[in-house]
Structure 1
Amino acid sequence: MEKWRIMYIPLDERPCNYEFPKMIIDISDIDMIRPPKEILGCKKKPADVDKLWEWMRQNIEGITHLVVSIDMLVYGGIVPSRIHQKQVEECLSKLLRLRELKKANNNLKIFAFNLIVRTPSYNSSEEEPDYYKEFGERIFRFGAFTDKIDLNIATEEEIKEFNALKREIPEEILEDYLRRREVNHKINLSVVDLVKENVIDFLIIPMDDSSKYGFSPMERRKIMKYIDELDLTDRIYSYPGADEVGCTLTARAFNDIKGVKPAVFTRYSSENGKNVIPLLEDRRLGETVKYQIIAGGGIVTEDSEKADFILMINPPSEITQQIGDSWNSYLTRRDVGDPERNLNEFVEAIKDYIEKGKNCSVADVAFLNGADNSLMKLIKKYGLFKKVLSYGGWNTSANTLGTVIAHSMVSSFYINRDNFTEDRKERSYRFLFLRYLEDWGYQYEVRTKVAKEIDKYGVSYFDLGEKEKIISEVIKGELEKFKKENLNEFDYEFDVYMPWNRLFEVGIEVKK
């Protein structure tokens, strides 16, 4: 029997990009290879793109599917894509290497993704150019007004503020920012050309941390117009997301290899939920959900009886969005009795589906950056932790959806064919446990607790300095307490590290 092999080039070296797709595909009988982590850079330090290319070239033989981040291949990662000083020609020379891979391996299918670079609405140089610390919020507003002027919907007051911002932001800063966006935009268009050439078989252009108006939606309109002119709308999707797309395209490769199109039935904890526009996204949740499913190679079904799995979605509401609308609120988040969401009926429905033999997964997107504690306590009370097929509640709505859908697609394939071996079940449980521990344990509870005490270590939330190992041990101790109180039915040990030496995200290595 032919052995199917996926080569995976991640967006960056953080666990969500480097580890999650591998953990998901390891549930299957398909091999995945990844480049050595040490050549992938770290945060603002770009990957060694030439070493990465050499590794790809040397290992392409026998690979059936390449899942590749263009931002990694061209710029050396997600953050380097926002701060580089490269010219179009240099970037294009890196991009066009994909042609060589296709020539070297005629059977290769390439599933690629490249981001429309974000424009954060706040002052911070944490993942942006240094000047964003002072001018970030003004650059964001300048972009929003630029877009409205382009659409001919700007008010006189907005045009006046646009002109004022143009005077306030130093010319050299604006030039640097817009020049880089223009380079990235031209590369995005060149990636579309590679789809037209049949070098790339399928492409996702995710909207990274987007909004209704701004530079990102402006660029997206131009790209989508170009895609439409080339008649490629069936092979190129664009929707909100970033760090989950490696999982999404891994699931797509899996489904392509297996020759299946999993049917997904969706259900919400709120009737209005699918019409909410989540924070950092540009459209209603229900439309993004549909894109996430078809991007992974599935199809939405209106009949739960015909579904390969049920996707239960706990959406945001006006109240949860207000709670999550400032950074401080992430660190002081409280439980909320939200009348817009019926969590009792939601969990009863999960229980009912499971008792009827349905695969049931939970996408917990009510809050930005972590689980809904009220929901998790109910799931615990109903004894459903190990009965749920997949769970996610991390970072943005799109991040959670893509991860949960990918995990569910792979595991449900084997369950529905009575081939969910003990080894596959264990690997699936391991990823499920990781999501509970990270999204609920760390993002909701432990991160908040440690952040409140971080000053006593002489470091800050976004820079742990030389104290990373000490703080990792503190976090591990807190997570072990959390596991004992809430997740003791999972018999796993784990280690903890901080991938970007800050508290925002955590690295958890679950031991077999």
Structure 2
Amino acid sequence: MTRIVYLPLDERPCNLQYPQHLADMTDLALIAPDIKLLGDKKKPADISALHDWLRDTAAEAEYLIVSIDMLLYGGIVPSRLHQLSFEQCAERLDLLRSVKKRNPNIRIHAFNLIMRVPSMSTSEEEPDYYADYGSDIFKFGWLTDKAERGELTEEDRIELDAVTRHIPEDVLNDFVGRRAVNAEVNRHVIALTEEGIIDNLIIPLDDNSQYGFSPKEQRELIVRVQKANLFDRVMIYPGADEIGCILFARVFGEVKGYVPEIFVRYSSTIGPMMKPKYEDRSLQESIKSHITAAGGVMADNSVETDIVLMVNAPPAEQRLMAEQGPFENRSRTYFSEIHYREFSEAIKHYLRKGKLVGLGDVAICNGSDVVLMNLLGKLGLLDQLTAYAGWNTSGNTLGTVISHLIVISYYERLANDEAQAKARAVSRAYYYKRLIEDWGYMSIIRQETVREVLPELGASYYNLYHVRDELYRILTGKLNAFAAEKIGSVREGNVTVENVFLPWKRMFEVGFDVKIEG
């Protein structure tokens, strides 16, 4: 059995459990550390214990999928809070060199984020001072990048002067200094890739934008990759929490000698050219990156492949892209430049032809497009799709659904009956989990609970752990009610939810298990 050691970005289900669901479909062993070693949001992981675990476990493995943010800082949030020097980071990175020396045949697939710069003033996942100066720090990065490109207007200059005066010098120095260390780490991991220590590297842009610190760092890193002639081994594109799934799919393809062809079809004519919120490039370019990073290729048409990715694409971009809320409040282009009926008929058509159809639901941020999902439910198509995702950012969604499609398509088309049955059982549970979480929780239940339940419990979005037992009981009931109403008894049996929890003691994300009985 091929052994893959996996060091995740953090301890949340999207980073720890989703790749495990994919692995459970296969005959590959995904070996991750005990969750107790992985920290808790702002609390970093136990670096020393993790390094000991990784050093020992990787000695007998064929592959290593490693988050550099976890390896160095102890997780995604600690990567935004640490006080490490580059020299300390480089010393920790030497562990990869020792892993390769001890096990020369191991293939190392690594990823390290370009640190995000949120536009809102909140310290929930950032340094404490971000609550007061976050939006100004974002504007400072945006405007200084515009200035360096020679695109600053007179109005921009006035605003840049104002935000520069408003941000305390020690605050700006702390933020910029940490970014400088993280950027130097990215340069160093590119060097390790050139040296052959890292075999494949992804540098995802976490919640980035057209201008700012992140695009500037990205340009510098791409030049470095070009000079080293490493475009065949290094990719830089928007993403974060889905990369563990993407790299598992890639390793799976390497082990099986499987290069899936995926045809991509959109709900909106202009959708492929829209720049999704929190990203810096067109949707089509991001999809090309996700498919390539996962080891697939884009098919020219649907005739030559059994795999179809249906993308519910946004007909508006950046700040005009809709968030969860009333349908009537969406940008006007949602009423003219997206065609729900044609899109659903196309899904039905591909299913009739026996295609494996996955749905990437990225028209809305932070959850499913309930208009589309209700229509698919009415048409009886929900239990016929192969894969689905519609959570958080566009990149998170696309990486999740593409990796699922790649892994399960191998078993649906190329595996023996026993392996296919095992993979299909796990895949269906994972698929229904995505429906319940992305459509049920993120698009409906989360808002209802914040509005109607938390005030009655004396709790709020971020202050709820004191009522967690009662809240988990209520959420379990709501999730099961949603599953009964919207999914019902599917061909695999009755779908229910259990073991509900809130990983970061807030309402944003949820964890639970799905059980299918029938």
Is the alpha carbon distance of 1:331 and 1:506 closer, same or farther for their aligned partners in structure 2, counting shifts above 3 Å? farther
Deviations 1:161-215 (A, max 9, x none): 2122111100000000010000101111001011001110110100100000000
CA contact (8 A) 1:332 1:448 kept: no
Amino acid at match of 1:116: I
CA contact (8 A) 1:262 1:308 kept: no
| CA distance in structure 2 between the aligned counterparts of 1:70 and 1:509, rounded to whole angstroms | 28
Which residue among 58, 65, 70 is the counterpart of 2:68?
70
Tell me the equivalent position of 1:196: 194
Tell me the equivalent position of 1:424: 423
Tell me the equivalent position of 1:439: 438
1:477 maps to 2:477: yes
Which residue among 181, 184, 187 is the counterpart of 2:185?
187
Q: CA deviation at 1:101?
A: 0.7
The residue matched to 2:300 in structure 1 has which SS? Answer: coil
Tell me the equivalent position of 2:95: 97
Tell me the equivalent position of 2:303: 305
Which residue among 270, 280, 283 is the counterpart of 2:281?
283
Tell me the equivalent position of 2:501: 497
Tell me the equivalent position of 1:464: 464
CA contact (8 A) 1:11 1:69 kept: yes
- How many percent of aligned residue pairs carry the same amino acid? 44
The unaligned stretches of length 5 or more in structure 1 are none
Q: CA deviation at 1:321?
A: 5.7
Which structure 2 residues correspond to residues 388-403 of structure 1 after superposition, within 5 A? 388-403=385-400
Amino acid at match of 2:413: N
Tell me the equivalent position of 1:377: 374
| CA distance in structure 1 between the aligned counterparts of 2:98 and 2:161, rounded to whole angstroms | 47
CA contact (8 A) 1:244 1:400 kept: yes
| CA distance in structure 2 between the aligned counterparts of 1:421 and 1:201, rounded to whole angstroms | 30
TM superposition score normalised by structure 1: 0.96
Q: What RMSD in Å do the two structures reach over aligned CA positions?
A: 1.5
CA contact (8 A) 1:10 1:246 kept: yes
CA contact (8 A) 2:47 2:74 kept: yes
| CA distance in structure 2 between the aligned counterparts of 1:343 and 1:321, rounded to whole angstroms | 22
| CA distance in structure 1 between the aligned counterparts of 2:318 and 2:226, rounded to whole angstroms | 37
| CA distance in structure 2 between the aligned counterparts of 1:26 and 1:467, rounded to whole angstroms | 34
Q: CA deviation at 1:306?
A: 1.8
The residue matched to 1:492 in structure 2 has which SS? Answer: strand
Amino acid at match of 2:320: Q
Which structure 2 residues correspond to residues 46-57 of structure 1 after superposition, within 5 A? 46-57=44-55
Which structure 2 residues correspond to residues 209-358 of structure 1 after superposition, within 5 A? 209-318=207-316, 322=320, 324=322, 330=324, 338-358=335-355
Which residue among 506, 511, 514 is the counterpart of 1:507?
511
| CA distance in structure 2 between the aligned counterparts of 1:148 and 1:249, rounded to whole angstroms | 34
Amino acid at match of 1:67: I
Deviations 1:98-137 (A, max 9, x none): 0111111121001110000000001100000000001000
Q: CA deviation at 1:488?
A: 1.5
Stretch of structure 1 that moved more, 225-234 or 124-133 = 225-234
Tell me the equivalent position of 1:449: 448
| CA distance in structure 2 between the aligned counterparts of 1:413 and 1:335, rounded to whole angstroms | 41
- When the two structures are aligned, how many residues end up with a matched partner? 506
CA contact (8 A) 1:27 1:424 kept: yes
The residue matched to 1:19 in structure 2 has which SS? Answer: helix
Q: CA deviation at 1:465?
A: 3.2
Is the alpha carbon distance of 1:199 and 1:188 closer, same or farther for their aligned partners in structure 2, counting shifts above 3 Å? same
Which residue among 43, 46, 49 is the counterpart of 1:45?
43
Amino acid at match of 2:221: I
The residue matched to 1:61 in structure 2 has which SS? Answer: helix
TM superposition score normalised by structure 2: 0.95
Amino acid at match of 2:148: D
The residue matched to 1:305 in structure 2 has which SS? Answer: coil
| CA distance in structure 2 between the aligned counterparts of 1:66 and 1:319, rounded to whole angstroms | 36
The residue matched to 2:218 in structure 1 has which SS? Answer: helix
Is the alpha carbon distance of 1:334 and 1:126 closer, same or farther for their aligned partners in structure 2, counting shifts above 3 Å? farther
Q: CA deviation at 1:301?
A: 1.1
| CA distance in structure 2 between the aligned counterparts of 1:183 and 1:135, rounded to whole angstroms | 21
| CA distance in structure 2 between the aligned counterparts of 1:23 and 1:127, rounded to whole angstroms | 27
Is the alpha carbon distance of 1:323 and 1:195 closer, same or farther for their aligned partners in structure 2, counting shifts above 3 Å? closer
Q: CA deviation at 1:56?
A: 0.9
Amino acid at match of 1:455: P
Amino acid at match of 1:374: V
| CA distance in structure 2 between the aligned counterparts of 1:335 and 1:433, rounded to whole angstroms | 29
Amino acid at match of 2:422: D
Q: CA deviation at 1:335?
A: 8.3
The residue matched to 1:502 in structure 2 has which SS? Answer: coil
Which residue among 10, 13, 26 is the counterpart of 2:11?
13
| CA distance in structure 2 between the aligned counterparts of 1:308 and 1:91, rounded to whole angstroms | 45
CA contact (8 A) 1:335 1:373 kept: no
CA contact (8 A) 2:309 2:359 kept: yes
Is the alpha carbon distance of 1:345 and 1:335 closer, same or farther for their aligned partners in structure 2, counting shifts above 3 Å? farther
CA contact (8 A) 2:276 2:321 kept: no
Stretch of structure 1 that moved more, 363-372 or 152-161 = 152-161
Amino acid at match of 1:492: V
Q: CA deviation at 1:455?
A: 2.1
CA contact (8 A) 1:269 1:315 kept: yes
